[in-house]
């Protein structure tokens, strides 16, 4: 195991050492009030999140019902998957089948591959995709629970992560973002076990599902390259760089294949996805909406069917928020890497800041935050801060479910009720980022005890 440990940037501590270095999770036992409450509410939460959308996808309810707004994106994925199996050039002109032939496919290659199996459901593609996502989520949760046990973490990770994901509502089974979240939680576990190549691979693959989680790459790469406490930068730098490059190989290979197959158009699609206006649910849009007594604000529908706001103040508000976000991201990556502990907190902080700072914010993006937020709360925070983070995650999910799909007709016209829910949700997101930033890393000596490679 010595060669493998060197390649991934350092020795792997055993589960006993990891357990001793993370005593903060000991407050969350199977009989604790938090776990008992989670067991009580998870079944009704699952029914609320899954039953309406699955029945709508099976045509028991019309697409215009309360949760129907969550389904059009699955139809978009269906037409892309059909185009691929029909031999259309990926990301090319008329890649998607009718009636979406004129649209650009904006999702990265891994989302396209994930869209293929549901074609077996035929006319019930949306229902087939929901079942596929449930199977993949179940497998991902099992793997994450297994990884926790190997790392000496005994809290019921699957239960609490599942609860926060279900709190998000129907978007859980109509978008792939929750799979990204499980991959990022896996990356946190990999960093915890000094498997930096695996951590980089998981983050890179998550980004190839949707580029919305690219901010998580910063803390992971900085962590992977940062020297151990007491070491110089040049000491072992080659091994650390090698681990990062090794981790990039799977995603780079997939991207290269689609780059050649699409004649480079896959990169153009990423630009089309990023270059959107300020979406109505983002923090800059909310700030602009609150300034409406001073500045007029216009609501419109963008090229990719997203609801956007525009006005004299929107650009500078979005710029200021983005600059603050970039500064916070860099600070957080360095802050947690220097301490060489709390990898889940580092990744969760980057995701929360990225979501708060981006002008492109859709409800499903929060799915990527939930799994790693649970890990941060239950393994790297004390009891009080851990309970606060879990409560914030639950409220974030429930408020997001309320605003989309149930109140979105109010949100997209800036009506008071819908706007109030979005304002509350975004404030909680900022509070979550601040709470994560205030989490005090343990001394490096405690988190990095010498351990013999297994």
Q: Which pair of tokens denotes residue 373? A: 């937020």
pLDDT (tens, 9 = 90+) of the chain, 454 residues, equals 333 333 344 434 433 333 334 445 557 888 899 999 999 999 999 999 999 999 999 999 998 899 999 999 999 999 999 999 999 999 998 999 999 988 889 999 999 999 999 999 999 999 999 999 999 999 999 999 999 999 888 889 999 999 999 999 999 999 999 999 999 999 999 999 999 999 999 999 999 999 999 999 999 999 999 998 878 888 899 999 999 999 999 999 999 999 999 999 998 877 776 678 899 999 999 999 999 888 889 999 887 778 999 998 999 999 999 999 999 999 999 999 998 889 999 999 999 999 999 999 999 999 999 999 999 999 999 899 999 999 999 999 999 999 999 999 999 999 999 999 999 999 999 999 999 998 765 443 333 333 333 3
Nearest C-alpha neighbor of 134 from the set 63, 56, 49, 62: 49
Q: Which pair of tokens denotes residue 434? A: 């601040």
Spatial distance between the Cα atoms of 237 and 242, rounded to a whole number of angstroms:
8
Spatial distance between the Cα atoms of 383 and 431, rounded to a whole number of angstroms:
18
**Burial track 48-84 (b if 16+ CB lie within 10 A, e otherwise):** bbbebbbebbeeeeeeeebbbbbbebbebbbbbbbbb
Which residue in the block uniquely carries the two structure tokens 């449930």? 134
């Amino acid at each position: 195991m010595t060669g493998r440990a060197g390649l991934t940037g350092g020795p792997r501590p055993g589960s006993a050492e990891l357990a001793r270095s993370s005593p903060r999770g000991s407050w969350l036992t199977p009989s604790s009030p938090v776990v008992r409450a989670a067991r009580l509410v998870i079944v009704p939460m699952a029914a609320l999140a899954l039953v309406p959308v699955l029945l709508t996808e099976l045509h028991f309810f019309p697409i215009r019902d309360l949760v129907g707004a969550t389904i059009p994106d699955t139809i978009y994925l269906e037409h892309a998957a059909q185009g691929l199996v029909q031999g259309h050039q990926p990301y090319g002109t008329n890649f998607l089948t009718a009636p979406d032939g004129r649209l650009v496919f904006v999702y990265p290659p891994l989302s396209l591959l994930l869209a293929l199996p549901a074609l077996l459901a035929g006319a019930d593609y949306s229902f087939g995709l929901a079942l596929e996502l449930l199977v993949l989520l179940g497998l991902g949760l099992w793997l994450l629970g297994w990884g926790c046990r190997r790392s000496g973490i005994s809290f019921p990770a699957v239960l609490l992560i599942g609860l926060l994901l279900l709190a998000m509502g129907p978007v859980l089974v109509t978008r792939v973002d929750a799979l990204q979240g499980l991959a990022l939680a896996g990356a946190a576990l990999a960093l915890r076990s000094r498997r930096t190549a695996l951590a980089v691979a998981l983050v890179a693959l998550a980004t190839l599902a949707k580029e919305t989680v690219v901010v998580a790459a910063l803390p992971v790469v900085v962590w992977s390259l940062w020297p151990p406490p007491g070491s110089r930068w040049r000491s072992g730098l080659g091994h650390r760089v090698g681990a990062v490059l090794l981790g990039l190989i799977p995603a780079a290979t997939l991207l290269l294949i689609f780059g050649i197959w699409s004649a480079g158009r896959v990169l153009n699609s990423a630009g089309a996805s990023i270059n959107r206006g300020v979406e109505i649910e983002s923090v800059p849009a909310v700030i602009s909406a609150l300034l409406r007594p001073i500045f007029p604000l216009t609501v419109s529908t963008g090229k990719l069917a997203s609801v956007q706001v525009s006005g004299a103040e929107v650009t500078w508000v979005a710029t200021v928020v983005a600059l603050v976000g970039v500064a916070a991201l860099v600070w957080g990556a360095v802050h947690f890497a220097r301490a060489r502990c709390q990898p889940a907190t580092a990744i969760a902080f980057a995701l929360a800041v990225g979501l708060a700072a981006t002008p492109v914010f859709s409800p499903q993006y929060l799915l990527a935050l939930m799994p790693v937020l649970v890990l941060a709360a239950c393994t790297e925070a004390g009891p009080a801060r851990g309970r606060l983070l879990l409560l914030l995650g639950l409220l974030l999910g429930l408020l997001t479910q309320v605003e989309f799909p149930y109140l979105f007709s109010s949100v997209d016209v800036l009506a008071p009720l819908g706007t109030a829910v979005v304002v509350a949700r975004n404030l909680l997101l900022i509070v979550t980022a601040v709470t994560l930033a205030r989490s005090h890393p343990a001394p490096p000596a405690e988190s990095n005890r010498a351990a013999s490679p297994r």
